[in-house]
C-alpha cells in the first residue's frame, strides 16, 4: 500500500532510534492523547525501542473510554422506549452501563443498529418516519463535524424524527485538566486526527501556559519516533512550542469548513469525563437554534441511577496515573471478550492495546 510501507522503513527507523538514544540526556515522560496513537504505539512496540529513561503514558484519547457511564445509561433508557431506534457506532455496543449494555438491550428486543456515520442515521430517520431515530454522537473534534452536517441536512429536509444524544468532547480542556491535577509529564504527543480538523493553534496555550512541548504526530513508526525525538529536543533545549510532525495531513489552520459548521451547530458546556470528573467547557451540545434535534431536550426519559465502577481503574489509566498492567482485573477478570471497563472494550482503549500487543508473559 502506498504511503504505508514508506513510514515503516526499518533502516530509517533504526536511524531515528539511534538519534533518540543519543539525544536522551535525562528522564522524560510523554503522554499520547489519541486512541489511534495508543494502539499504534503498542502495535509497533515503540516503548521497547526507546531508552528506559523515556516513558510513554496513555491519556484520555479514546472517545469511547472517556464517555461517562451516565451517558450509556441514558442511551439504554432511550433504547427501552417502544418507538425509538438507537443508531450508534459499533464500539458503544458493549460498553457496560450501570446494569446493562446496548448489546444486551438489543438481544432483549430493543431496536439498536450500528451505523458508520450520522448521515446514515439520518437516512434511517427519513426511511422510517414513524420512529424516533436517536444517533449517539460521540467522539472528539474529529467526528463532531459529521454530526453537525447531519443536523444541517435534517434541518434542510425538515426531518422531524432525527435526534442526536451528544457526548462530543473537546481535547484541549482535558489536556489542561491532566496537568492541573498534577500529573507529571514533559510533553504531549498531540492527536493527529483531531488536529486535521482544528489545526495546531488549539495547543498554543498548553505549550505557553504550562511550558509543555506539543508535537502533532502521525500514526506510523517513523511518525511516532520522529515525534518523540522532537519532544526530546524541545525538553533538552528548555523550549516549548507546537510542532506539526504529521504535516502530510495537518495544516496550521486545520479544516476551515469543518470548524465553521461546528461553530454553527454546537456550543460548549461543562461535562463529566469517565474517571476524570467535571471539566469546564469540554463538551459540545446543540445550540439553541437546533435544539429540536437534541434528544435530551425533546424526548423525556427516566434514567436509572448510575452505579460507580468497582475494581476497574479506567479513570486512573485515562489520567496517566496508572497503566493497564497496574489493574488487578487486567487479563483475568477483564479481557476483550469479558470487559469490565470501557478501556478494554474499545479498539482504541489503552487496556485493549496492552492486552493485544504486550508480551503475554506480562499478563497474569
* Structure confidence at residue 333 (pLDDT): 86
Per-residue pLDDT tens over the stretch 180-213: 999 999 999 999 999 999 999 999 999 999 999 9
Which whole number is the average pLDDT over 137-157?
97
Per-residue pLDDT tens over the stretch 94-137: 888 999 999 999 999 999 999 999 999 999 999 999 999 999 99
pTM of the model: 0.91
Give the model's confidence band at 363: pLDDT under 50 very low, under 70 low, under 90 confident, else very high. very low
Give the burial string for 138-157 (b: 16+ CB within 10 Å, else e): bbbbbbbbbbbbbbebbeee
Per-residue pLDDT tens over the stretch 152-186: 999 999 999 999 999 999 999 999 999 999 999 99
Which whole number is the average pLDDT over 225-240?
97
Instruction: Report the candidate in 119, 140, 266 with the shortest Cα–Cα distance to residue 196.
Output: 140
Q: Which run of H or of E encompasses 85?
A: strand 84-88
Distance CA 315, CA 97 (A): 15
Structure-block grid coordinates of residue 194: 483531531
Instruction: Output phi, psi for 81, to 5 deg.
Output: -70, 145
First-to-last C-alpha distance (Å) of the chain: 37
- Domains, in order of start, for the chain: 10-63+171-244 (3.40.50.11750), 69-167+282-298 (3.40.50.11740), 313-359 (no CATH)
Report the mean per-residue pLDDT for the chain.
93
Which whole number is the average pLDDT over 312-332?
89
* Structure confidence at residue 6 (pLDDT): 85
Q: Is the pLDDT of residue 2 over 80?
A: no
pLDDT > 90 in the chain, percent: 79
* Structure confidence at residue 39 (pLDDT): 93
Taking the CA atoms of 57, 61, 65 and 67 in sequence, report the sign of the dihedral they define.
positive
Distance CA 286, CA 212 (A): 32
Which whole number is the average pLDDT over 33-45?
94
Cβ-in-10-Å burial (0-12, 13-18, 19+) of 31 comes to buried
Per-residue pLDDT tens over the stretch 83-97: 999 999 998 998 889
* Structure confidence at residue 338 (pLDDT): 85
Instruction: Output phi, psi for 283, to 5 deg.
Output: -135, 150
Q: Is the pLDDT of residue 1 over 80?
A: no
Amino acid at each position: 500500500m502506498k504511503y504505508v510501507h514508506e513510514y515503516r522503513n526499518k533502516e530509517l527507523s533504526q536511524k531515528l532510534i539511534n538519534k533518540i538514544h543519543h539525544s536522551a540526556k535525562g528522564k522524560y515522560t510523554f503522554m499520547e492523547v489519541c486512541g489511534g496513537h495508543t494502539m499504534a504505539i503498542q502495535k509497533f512496540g515503540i516503548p521497547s525501542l526507546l531508552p528506559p529513561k523515556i516513558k510513554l503514558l496513555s491519556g484520555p484519547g479514546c472517545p469511547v473510554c472517556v464517555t461517562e457511564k451516565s451517558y450509556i445509561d441514558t442511551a439504554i433508557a432511550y433504547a427501552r422506549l417502544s418507538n425509538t431506534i438507537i443508531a450508534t457506532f459499533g464500539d458503544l455496543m458493549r460498553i457496560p452501563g450501570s446494569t446493562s449494555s446496548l448489546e444486551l438491550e438489543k438481544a432483549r428486543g430493543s431496536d439498536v443498529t450500528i451505523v458508520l456515520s450520522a448521515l446514515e442515521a439520518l437516512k434511517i430517520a427519513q426511511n422510517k418516519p414513524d420512529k424516533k431515530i436517536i444517533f449517539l454522537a460521540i467522539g472528539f473534534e474529529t467526528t463532531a463535524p459529521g454530526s453537525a452536517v447531519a443536523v444541517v441536512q435534517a434541518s434542510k429536509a425538515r426531518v422531524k424524527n432525527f435526534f442526536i444524544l451528544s457526548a462530543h468532547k473537546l481535547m484541549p480542556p482535558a489536556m489542561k485538566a491532566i496537568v492541573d491535577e498534577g500529573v507529571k509529564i514533559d510533553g504531549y504527543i498531540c492527536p493527529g486526527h483531531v488536529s486535521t480538523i482544528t489545526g495546531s493553534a488549539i495547543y498554543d496555550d498548553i505549550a505557553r501556559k504550562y511550558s509543555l512541548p506539543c508535537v502533532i504526530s502521525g500514526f506510523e513508526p517513523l511518525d511516532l519516533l520522529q515525534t518523540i525525538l522532537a519532544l526530546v529536543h524541545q525538553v533538552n533545549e528548555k523550549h516549548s512550542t507546537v510542532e506539526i510532525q504529521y504535516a502530510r495531513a495537518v495544516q496550521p489552520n486545520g479544516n476551515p469548513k469543518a470548524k465553521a459548521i461546528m461553530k454553527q451547530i454546537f456550543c460548549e458546556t461543562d461535562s463529566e469525563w469517565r474517571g476524570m470528573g467535571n471539566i469546564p467547557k469540554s463538551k459540545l451540545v446543540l445550540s439553541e437554534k437546533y435544539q429540536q434535534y437534541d434528544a435530551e431536550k425533546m424526548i423525556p426519559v427516566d434514567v436509572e441511577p448510575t452505579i460507580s465502577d468497582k475494581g476497574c481503574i479506567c479513570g486512573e489509566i485515562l489520567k496517566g496515573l496508572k497503566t493497564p498492567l497496574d489493574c488487578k482485573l487486567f487479563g483475568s477478570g477483564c479481557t476483550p471478550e469479558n470487559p469490565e471497563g470501557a478501556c478494554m472494550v474499545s479498539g482504541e482503549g489503552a487496556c485493549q492495546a496492552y492486552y493485544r500487543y504486550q508480551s503475554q508473559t506480562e499478563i497474569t
